[in-house]
Structure 1
């Protein structure tokens, strides 16, 4: 008798009146919100402006959803295009089925378009949103729990996942690989945040670290899964994909560190120009204040100087009008007459 296990939801849909709220879609939306929120905080801390991450996400998210769905449909085409299957189901994204490899690849194309429109380098943007993306993956994996999919081999562990019988599912207790991957993603997110603070990762290396670390976990978790998948040389296709992407990410980190060491000083040219303009405006304002103060000082001193000059003139005039002043003038006149008489005699 099993005393402990993780129960699965009886349904993946909650009806809010006429509106169906699907657990899978809700987890995806919540994950996108967390990714944008955390990415915005990290972008601002790097010197960018608020709102830039969300503006670029408007391009990246739709591209990522399309890419994720395309990867899933292409790699599991038999689920939609084989005999007895309905190809229309390929468009029912709410029923599950998003490949992270396609989501990241095509999402990067959307992010590149958004970055070019704002004059931003894609690697700097990728570094800022890397932890948010992997936390979004951790949340999104709970959508698989709602749909009772992506579980592992049978197990009797206390944290086994209960799966009910339906369609191609066999009732039983299985490894909760969705939970393993969710917890792994949380660990990767904190690893990237720590390494970025410790080593000042730049030029896309924080994003590459996220990719490499995620691939390590995805490889062993993928190996535990029992859902239908294509195999190459005895390994599931996604295991080979994880190995290849891991190698590419490691090579990028090594080469990038040698070619472009350090971290970008300016991540958003527009914000830098705005800061310089604000600084210039501040300097101009200080100069204006200095001129204003000088003018006010001159205005205050002018009446005072004029009053002093007027007082001096008045004092001279009063002195001239005094009896002594008159006496001095009379003496000067007598002296002039005597001088004139002497000159006449000579």
Structure 2
């Protein structure tokens, strides 16, 4: 390890000694818990934003019933397509492809297939999909930030070696029962002597995501964005940061065009497409059709309350009543 590392190691960021805890036979995985927490935050914030944009309460929860499962499946499929050798190549175990709780969700696949689920849910609730997308965009990227904490507990998705004060300590983890190496489910054996000090790229992305969330909320309020432009701005902001952060990562990845990580290429393409969308699409914010409120079991805004049984025709302006009555009192 060397004396330089051991004398300066206190300046670095420690990793958790494990990412899994057991309640009897039940494993509690940090990665899964943070994914769930991110989904809850995205739904809660998206619901508040959709109601503020004129939508009926409960819509985001109903649409999420379709969007979340589709998104999880899409995220896993993208991960398997771009890292298939890990599961189906030499030494791989195809059964591990089903172990989504151990990590491995590609955001591009999650957004793509999640959008299909959202489209189904929005059609059922008669909500314009761009309106829904704009409402949930900030919550989605905050959910991504929360999910990156799961990568922290898994000791994954980090960058190359560094001597910066915020370098991340990586520990050797083993199965306590067998002593065999187990980076995901094991426990650190010696936290005083990390096996590497690396760039915490998960932390860089987490902070970038929170900054993008703040940016799109500000832009939405300042320019009253609609027609899916809030969502497109989220895509542009996220992919801009992901492009550079991806270049720093050292974990195995599918390479294209020689030796370029595939997510670098995808980030560049999506960034250009999102910027073009923001620049070209115009128009005011969408309005929610009345049938959306009927399906939600609430009255559309501006409609009279049916519980009010008073006859509007009985309400007469005082000045008009005086004028109407004056001939009857004339001598």
TM-score by length of 1: 0.78
Change (3 A) 1:217 1:277: closer
Q: Is residue 198 of structure 2 the alignment partner of residue 174 of structure 1?
A: yes
Q: Deviations over 1:216-247 (max 9, x none)?
A: 00000000000011222332110000000111
Query: Does the 8 A contact of 1:47 with 1:268 survive in 2?
Result: no
The structure whose RCO (Cα within 8 Å, separation 6+) is larger is 2
Gaps of 5+ in 2: 1-6, 174-180, 184-193, 316-331
User: 1:271 aligned to 2:278?
Assistant: no
Question: How do residues 180-329 of structure 1 correspond to structure 2 at under 5 angstroms?
Answer: 180-233=204-257, 234-257=259-282, 261-266=283-288, 269-271=291-293, 274-275=299-300, 278-279=303-304, 281=306, 285-287=309-311, 290=314
Residues 1:128 and 2:135 aligned together: yes
Distance 1:9 1:21 in 2: 14
Shift of 1:17: 3.5
Deviation at 1:135, TM superposition (A): 0.2
- 2:130 maps to 1:108: no
Give the alignment's TM-score, normalised by structure 2. 0.82
State the distance in 1 between where 2:272 and 2:136 align.
Answer: 21
Kindly state the Cα deviation for residue 252 of structure 1 after the two structures are TM-superposed: 1.4
What is the rounded CA distance, in whole Å, between the counterparts of 1:179 and 1:269 in structure 2? 44
1:49-87 deviations in whole A, cap 9, x for unaligned?
111101100100010000001101110011001111111
- Post-superposition Cα deviations, 1:142-186, rounded to whole Å, max 9, x if no partner, equal 100111000001001111111123559792000000000001000
Note if contact 1:120-1:269 (Cα within 8 Å) is conserved in structure 2. no
Q: Return the offset for 1:7.
A: 1.2
* Structure label with greater radius of gyration: 1
Q: Which has the higher helix share?
A: 1
Alignment root-mean-square deviation, CA: 2.1
CA spacing shift, 1:50–1:276, aligned 2, 3 Å: closer
* Corresponding position of 1:56: 63
Q: Which runs of 4+ in 1 moved over 4 A?
A: 166-170
Query: How far apart, CA to CA, are the structure 2 residues paired with 1:50 and 1:227?
Result: 43
Deviations 1:280-306 (A, max 9, x none): 637x73317939xxxxxxxxxxxxxxx
Deviates more, 1:184-193 or 1:231-240: 231-240
* Deviations, residues 103-151 of structure 1 (Å, cap 9, x unaligned): 0000000000100111111110000000000000000001001110000
> Do the aligned partners of 1:68 and 1:98 also contact (CA within 8 Å) in 2?
yes
Determine the structure 1 residue equivalent to 2:159: 152
The correspondence for 1:9, drawn from 16, 21, 29, is 16
Contact 2:127 2:288 in 1 (8 A): no
| Structure 1 stretches lacking a partner, 5+ long | 292-346
Cα contact 2:225–2:284 (8 A) shared by 1: yes
